[in-house]
Amino acid sequence: MNMIPQEIVDYLDQHIIGQNNAKKTIALALRTRYRRLRLDPPLQDEIMPKNILMIGSTGVGKTEIARRLAKLMQLPFIKVEASKYTEVGFVGRDVESMVRDLVMTSYSMVKAEHNENNKEAIEHYIVDILTHKLHPEVPHFPTEEEKARHEISKSELSKKIRNGGMDDRLVEIELSTGGIEFNDTNMPPEIARVQESFSKMFSVIGKEENKKEVSVAEAKEILRQEASEKLLNHDQIKREALKRTEEGGIIFLDEIDKIAVNSRSDGRNDPSKEGVQRDLLPIVEGSIVSTKFGSIKTDHILFIAAGAFHLTKPSDLIPELQGRFPLRVELEPLNEDALYLILTKPKNSLLEQYKALLATEEMQLSFDEAAIRAMARYAQRANEKTEDIGARRLHTVVEKVLEDISFNAHLHKNSAVTVTEAMVNTILLPLVEDEDLARYIL
């Protein structure tokens, strides 16, 4: 998607409060990728992605910025936790599997687009098969008049099937026993391909014996998968998925501070941490990873790493890995004003979500301005007294305030309920004042 940096920042502002430096840095990184693709191929290869390291406490918006951007730009995007990976030789997920996960995400995106683009052909395939199954055969040696009546009747039935008029009718269809996809990205691609080949072979053998009577509505969904497999060019989808991953893929590597080795420790607590960093290095620098759809170069995949770095610091990462994240941005902790804005300003804010949920019970929920301020204040105080979990504290605070109202929503049917500052104080003040209660309840 061709968006200038300011448009990207404006979009993020609708959903995320503050953190302007982080928004600006990522918007520029994405725009640079767009600019690179407009250059001549020899120069394109020379321009490496400017990977980003985001530093900030939990709940300040690191993940949300990356997630919203990927959704906006319609780019292959995955979020992984660095702490889930292990050094080669240890039991666990190897770091190459994150690239395979990204390719799988890209493949799903491209396949969905091709399904949408071939929507009419897929629909025609489904209706044609169901019409053939539900409509009686033309009589032997038909007259011209019988042929004409048969075609008219068949056409009318097709229209009914297409418009949902036959959805409750039962029809017998053959169910495919295969089609199992082996998406374990930690499995060697060669083994995954062999297993899928066996799966498809056995599905063909058992298909004729696996018949079932289902409604036409259910049959449409079953046949849609079959139509997709038969009508789409899967080789083209694979090639496009690989290309899109190489040129636009984004891997959000969260908790990178968890694999940093504190300079004051000897590293004996977890000897694999530095090993994970060294395994990660060639992927971030640029290497070739084998996937079941083909080999992929990671040179131009954008890596956005994030971590709180409470017990460690970025300099505790191995120097080579530090050098592969040239853009550093520190996210600001959230104060009371920021928490208030998070409750009120974003599209589909937390309070708007609760209003919509309780509206399904025919109840009109509203909040006094002073009540919203009070919830932001108590969330901030709870963050100060216990662990600072940023905006995530608001979910607990608002849920606690609305607990009884939500539980008794059926009693407030066709009525309006306003949350006041007094209600907020009554519920939250005792919890926040008692540090033990705050630690376990808020």
Give the C-alpha separation, 275 to 259, whole Å: 9
Q: Which of 106-115, 202-211, 268-277, 300-309 has the lowest mean pLDDT?
A: 202-211
The pTM for the full model equals 0.77
Give the C-alpha separation, 249 to 252, whole Å: 10
For the chain, the domains span 5-108+240-330, 110-236, 336-430
pLDDT at 270: 60
**What is the tens place of the pLDDT at every residue in 210-236?**
777 788 888 888 888 888 888 899 999
Give the C-alpha separation, 102 to 147, whole Å: 54
Span between the terminal Cα atoms of the chain, in Å: 41
- Are 1 and 74 in contact by the 8 Å Cβ rule? The answer is yes
Say which CATH architecture domain 5-108+240-330 belongs to: 3-Layer(aba) Sandwich (3.40)
Half-sphere exposure of 368 (CA within 13 A, CB side): 11
What's 159-219 look like in SS3?
Answer: HHHHHCCCCCCEEEEECCCCCCCCCCCCCCHHHHHHHHHHHHHHHHHHCCCCEEEEEHHHH
DSSP-derived secondary structure letter, 265: S
Highest CATH level, class, for 336-430: mainly alpha
Give the C-alpha separation, 332 to 281, whole Å: 28
User: What does 212-261 look like in DSSP terms, one character per residue?
Assistant: EEEEHHHHHHHHHHHHHHHHS-HHHHHHHHHHHHHHH-EEEEE-GGGGPP
**What is the tens place of the pLDDT at every residue in 161-192?**
888 888 888 887 876 655 555 555 666 666 66
**What is the tens place of the pLDDT at every residue in 80-137?**
998 888 766 555 578 899 999 999 999 999 999 999 999 899 988 888 888 888 877 7
